[in-house]
Structure formats: structure tokens, C-alpha cells
Amino acid sequence: MPVAVNFRLYLITDRRLARGGNLLSAVEHALAGGVHAVQLREKDLGSRDLLELALKIRALTSAYGAKLLINDRIDIALAADADGVHMGRNSIPTRDARRLMGPDRLIGCSTHTAKQLAEAEAGGADFAVFGPVYFTPSKAAFGPPLGVDTLRAACASTRIPVFALGGVGAENINEVIAAGANGVSMISAILAAKDPRQAASDINLSIKNAFLRHTQGQEEWS
């Protein structure tokens, strides 16, 4: 049985964006603001440094009752007792990740097409991130934004939760939730904010209000 995806706001780390380079402080403030899932994504770190950072963030997420996923590195995820792993397009197949991680840990996948989303679901992913939906400088090298219509079609094509990524902010959260997204995934909108706690709180409120507009209000909020 799939692991429950009980969060709406999925924070992806990039320590270069944290004010003063203090990623731990930014993550803790974001958790205090209502982030309930963090993906540690620091690809340039060596294994020892990455594990050391993962253990520190594991302590923070545990203190706040939040989930921790490690980007790509199943070994680090297991060593840090993380809640799961997030697989990119160049990672090992999702099916193999599931075999290594077991049935009780989360597996998220980065996807950019409906075909990739279907592959993630077939391989045993619990959820997927889909994007970039809107233009964002960090994703410009990967081509033009996919747009809301493509997001809507992707969400309708799968049974697993989909998180919208790329240029998502308070001004368009309502639009991506209306398109069928389960939640949103963010990096700079929170980490680079002057006040990550307030930014996370404001984004959570926007997500909640968007769901209330498009459902009967029977949702669980993170």
C-alpha cells in the first residue's frame, strides 16, 4: 500500500540561495512556518558532507514532525534514516529505488512529461513533481515552461499526487491547484525570502485558500 503523502508544500533545498549561506537556519524557519516536507538537494556535496548535513536536517524535521527526502542518494537516505528519496531523470529506475528503499519509505520523482509521470507511477513512486510550469531562471536551460494546460492534463492522467514546480508563487497557486495539483514545490520563494517562516506561512495559506475554492473544504492541511 502506498505511503501517505500528507503534505502540500514541498521545500527543495539549495544552500546557495539561503540568506547568509545558512541553510539550516532557513530550513528551520521554513519548518516553523508550516513546511512539512523537505528535499535535501545539494548535488555538489561529497558523501561525508552530505550525510553530515542530512543528519542535521533530519534532526530539524523530526523536531517539527516533517518529512525528509534525499535527492537521488539512497545510501544517504538510509544512513540518515530519512523518510524517503527523490529520484531525478538521471537516477536509477524508480522500480529499483523502491526495491532498495522498501515499502514504508516515500519515493518522489521529478517529471516533465505525461510519459515520465506514467513511468514514475508504474515504478512505484508515491508522488511526482511536475514542471517547470511557469518560467523560472533556474529551469530556463531545460526549455520553455510547460504551462498550466500541460499540468492539468498530467494531473488527470495519474493517480499519484502531483506537485507543481517552477515559477510557482502566491500569484498563481490558485491556478495550479485548480489544474489538479496536489500541492506546490518551491526553492527560492522560501529559502531566499527575507523571512522564510513568514514566506512558508503565507504560501500555506494560499494553498489552503485555493483548495477551499475548488473543493468542499474537506481537505487536510499541512
| CA dist., res. 71 & res. 91, Å (int) | 9
Cell numbers for 105, please give them. Answer: 519509505
Please name which of 103, 74, 100 lies closest in space to residue 86, comparing C-alpha atoms.
Answer: 74
The residues near 141 (Cβ < 8 Å, ≥ 6 apart) are none
Backbone angles phi, psi at 135, to 5 degrees: -65, 135
Catalogue the E-assigned strands of 72-189: 84-87, 106-111, 127-130, 162-165, 183-186
Question: Which residues partner with 185 through β-bridges?
Answer: 10, 165
Residue positions annotated with a catalytic role:
41, 110, 139
Angle at which helix 23-32 crosses helix 196-214, to 10 degrees, equals 40
In single-letter form, the type of residue at position 195 comes to D
